[in-house]
Structure 1
């Protein structure tokens, strides 16, 4: 069986961070994901998808993401149900993200190289915030320093 979801979109609200009774962090937010096509009026529609993150990933999302942040994420689809106050059954569908990639700097006026590692995935070395770039700004190898690039036609792959 396979249950994997990959999404790129923008947060519609700031992440909401809470802790379970046993002290485990959980963050929830909604991601707006554009559809590939336009409607009859020529407007692009979006789907609004509920996202849940846990533990270090939840804390990192709450600390570094805000409404409007562009992220890419990977996770699994999870459904559930509960009874509301009126006694009606409410069905839920969430994406439980185990990897969230920050696709732009926190302040859009900063260059991406000014922002620390934006990957806070579940089962990799990035999740704890240590061992990867150790909080130092990354040098952008593609930054425009105003000088022409000297490259011969023989070095181009096309």
Structure 2
């Protein structure tokens, strides 16, 4: 089976990189993706979904070096289910309500915008891909 998710959004905070015991780099960052629409009553509505992104190897180092909070990105990858629920990772908020995190393992991170050292922004089209995902060929057509 094969799944793919594509997300366009902005980083909610600076990426955090660490190294595994074998020296492999892994970087995590959060992306907010918003949907806007006008309701039947004419009112504007907005819904924001947060994704926690996991990036590996050289791509992890590149993401950590160039992206910062607010950077716009396009992420392609696969959803990583919670081992306990088989779905999103559930957690309790301070007010007692349940929250959910959608975790994504990135295959590709495309930089749609970034900030230079002087704080000005520029549009870019840089793309950094990890190792290609191994595809299973069990599709009947």
TM-score normalised over the length of structure 1: 0.62
**Inter-partner Cα distance in structure 2 for 1:38 and 1:81:** 37
Root-mean-square deviation (Å): 2.6
Unaligned runs of 5+ in 1: 83-88, 125-158
After TM superposition, list the pairs within 5 Å mapping 1:104-115 onto structure 2.
104-107=113-116, 109=120, 111-112=122-123
Q: Which has the higher helix share?
A: 1
**Inter-partner Cα distance in structure 2 for 1:76 and 1:111:** 28
**Inter-partner Cα distance in structure 1 for 2:108 and 2:33:** 17
The corresponding residue for 1:120 is: 128
TM-score normalised over the length of structure 2: 0.69
More displaced, 7-16 or 36-45?
A: 36-45
Count residues with an aligned counterpart: 115
For residues 56-86 of structure 1, the C-alpha deviation after alignment (integer angstroms, 9 at most, x for no partner) is: 111111000000000001001111247xxxx
Q: Say whether the 8 Å CA contact 1:50–1:95 is kept in structure 2.
A: yes
Computing the radius of gyration from Cα coordinates, the structure with the larger value is: 1
The corresponding residue for 1:4 is: 4
Runs of 4+ displaced beyond 2 Å: 36-43, 89-93, 105-112
Bigger relative contact order, structure 1 or 2 (CA pairs below 8 A, ≥6 apart): 2
Q: Which has the higher strand share?
A: 2
Q: Say whether the 8 Å CA contact 1:80–1:92 is kept in structure 2.
A: no
**Inter-partner Cα distance in structure 2 for 1:94 and 1:72:** 15
The corresponding residue for 1:21 is: 21
The yes-or-no answer on 1:95 pairing with 2:97 is no
TM superposition shift of 1:106: 2.5
